[in-house]
């Protein structure tokens, strides 16, 4: 029993020698008040997209288990989870999540929903161990491996007739000569983004010249990180996304396109303002790649960037999982999470509607950070007005579950209050004569 009176279960995993603490919420503390009638759901990790998934299932009465390696993530403060589990670092120690699942016979038959690439990779690698006990909401192994490997993605896109930036494999240990079809500045991208971001604290590196390229590649070789070179399409080029759900039958349900109006950092960062819009060519290319991969039974999200030289949208990334802006789908009238739930619960499918143009998704914290770090790229007042005058989804926000939203903003408020306190102290200090 914890100091707060909430029951805690300690599970020891002998294979990895880790003690995992699982906190079970008191009965009736979820914000829905509905009884559990769906299969249990395990969501990991639980930041923005994980929160959207938890709330969608909890709203329908499911028992939801939130799993994370970091207690400080906003999603760990939600009321939508029936149980919250804190594991050791799942990125640094692959297999921890799988061993925890196998230690929980009470979750037999549960739907396992990954919201991070490291969990997709682990579920795919341990598919044979897990599939007989759980429902893994990931596509087939081929699609998973293509989504996780930038070189395989480039080759699959080419085979499917989907446009993409020039991508060249970096092989061997010798010096790299810039290919004739690439020019500086160029991007160094990891074949597997999980390991790269852990070392460099970013998903890609933009390289300006040969000396910088040699230094970056040498560092990658030292760490055993395999990379590719990819042409840079330009910071000013628009970014779009294709998103949806593909049923286990292979039928695409509720797919739509969005334009990314705000990113942090600009040009190469993650989106904080996304708007549903007609984007010619993006939906068609997204569907073509899904058909080529025989993609089934999972959410999907792809990023495209417009090549201003030829006016063609080119594929940058494929996510075989839930994505950051997934809550936008329900507000836009194409509830992909509902399609997913009905598919895995063998319920009658919904008809495939068309997304409402102009519906937006907005992440306030990143918008505030962008305004401070990149004033020229910050949202204008007109952008804020447009967001709040139209149908919208606010990241992490729910009127009956405010703690994740407020907890996410806490560092900004603390920093601001510290600066004000320091300024007040300086002003009140006597001036040395």
**Could you tell me the pTM of the whole model?**
0.88
Express each pLDDT in 94-146 by its tens digit: 899 999 999 999 999 999 999 999 999 999 999 999 999 999 999 999 999 99
Confidence of residue 360 (pLDDT cuts 50, 70, 90): very high
| CB distance 194 to 117 below 8 Å | yes
Q: How far from the centroid of its chain's Cα atoms is residue 146's Cα?
A: 17
What's the pLDDT score for residue 180?
A: 83
Cβ-based burial of 35 (10 A; exposed 0-12, middle 13-18, buried ≥19): exposed
Residue 349: φ, ψ to 5°: -75, 155
At 369 the three-state DSSP class reads: helix
Given a cut of 50, whether residue 11 has pLDDT beyond it is: no
CA distance 242 to 300: 8
Percentage of the chain beyond pLDDT 70 is 86
| CB distance 261 to 312 below 8 Å | no
Given a cut of 50, whether residue 13 has pLDDT beyond it is: no
Report in angstroms the alpha-carbon separations of 244 from 164, 218, 341, 343. Answer: 20, 39, 13, 13
Q: Which neighbouring-strand residues pair with 402?
A: none
Given a cut of 70, whether residue 432 has pLDDT beyond it is: no
Tally of CA atoms within 13 A in the half-sphere of 212 that contains its CB: 10
- Ordered strands of the 392-394 beta sheet: 312-319, 298-307, 239-246, 252-264, 270-276, 360-362, 392-394
| CB distance 167 to 230 below 8 Å | yes
**How many degrees, rounded to 5, is the angle at CA 57 between CA 55 and CA 59?**
65
Express each pLDDT in 205-259 by its tens digit: 899 998 999 998 998 888 888 999 999 998 789 999 999 999 999 999 989 999 9
| CB distance 85 to 100 below 8 Å | yes
What's the pLDDT score for residue 23?
A: 56
Mean pLDDT to the nearest integer, 1-19? 38
């Amino acid at each position: 029993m914890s100091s707060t009176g909430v029951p805690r279960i300690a599970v020891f995993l002998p294979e990895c020698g880790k003690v995992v603490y699982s906190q079970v919420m008191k009965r009736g503390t979820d914000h829905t008040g509905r009884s559990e009638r769906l299969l249990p759901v395990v969501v990991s990790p639980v930041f923005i997209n994980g929160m959207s998934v938890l709330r969608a299932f909890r709203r329908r009465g499911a028992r939801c288990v939130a799993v994370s390696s970091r207690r400080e993530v906003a999603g760990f403060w939600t009321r939508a989870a029936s149980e919250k589990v804190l594991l050791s670092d799942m990125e640094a120690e692959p297999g921890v999540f799988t061993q925890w699942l196998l230690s929980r016979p009470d979750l037999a038959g549960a739907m396992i929903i990954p919201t991070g690439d490291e969990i997709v990779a682990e579920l795919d690698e341990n598919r044979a161990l897990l599939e007989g006990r759980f429902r893994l909401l990931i596509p087939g192994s081929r699609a998973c491996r293509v989504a996780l490997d930038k070189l395989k993605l480039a080759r699959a896109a080419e085979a499917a007739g989907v446009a993409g930036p020039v991508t060249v494999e970096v092989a061997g240990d010798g010096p790299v000569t810039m290919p004739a079809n690439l020019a500086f500045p160029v991007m160094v991208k990891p074949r597997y983004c999980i390991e790269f971001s852990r070392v460099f604290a970013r998903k890609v590196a933009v390289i300006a010249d040969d000396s910088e390229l040699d230094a970056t590649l040498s560092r990658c070789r030292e760490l055993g990180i395999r990379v590719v070179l990819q042409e840079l399409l330009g910071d000013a080029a628009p970014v779009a996304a294709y998103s949806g759900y593909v049923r286990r039958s292979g039928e695409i349900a509720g797919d739509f396109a969005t334009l990314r109006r705000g990113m942090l950092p600009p040009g190469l960062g993650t989106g904080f303002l996304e708007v549903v819009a007609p984007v010619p060519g993006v939906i068609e290319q997204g569907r073509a790649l899904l058909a080529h991969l025989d993609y089934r039974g999972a959410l999907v999200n792809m990023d495209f960037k417009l090549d201003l030289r030829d006016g063609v949208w080119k594929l940058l990334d494929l996510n075989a999982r839930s994505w950051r802006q997934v809550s936008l789908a329900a507000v836009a009238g194409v509830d992909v999470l509902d399609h997913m739930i009905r598919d895995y619960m063998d319920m009658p499918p919904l008809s495939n509607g068309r997304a409402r143009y102009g519906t937006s998704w907005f992440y306030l914290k990143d918008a505030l950070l962008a305004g401070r770090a990149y004033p020229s790229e910050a949202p204008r007042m007109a952008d804020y007005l447009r967001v709040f005058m139209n149908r919208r989804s606010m990241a992490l926000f729910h009127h009956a579950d405010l703690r994740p939203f407020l907890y996410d903003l806490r560092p900004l408020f603390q920093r601001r209050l510290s600066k004000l306190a320091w300024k007040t102290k300086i002003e009140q200090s006597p001036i040395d004569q």
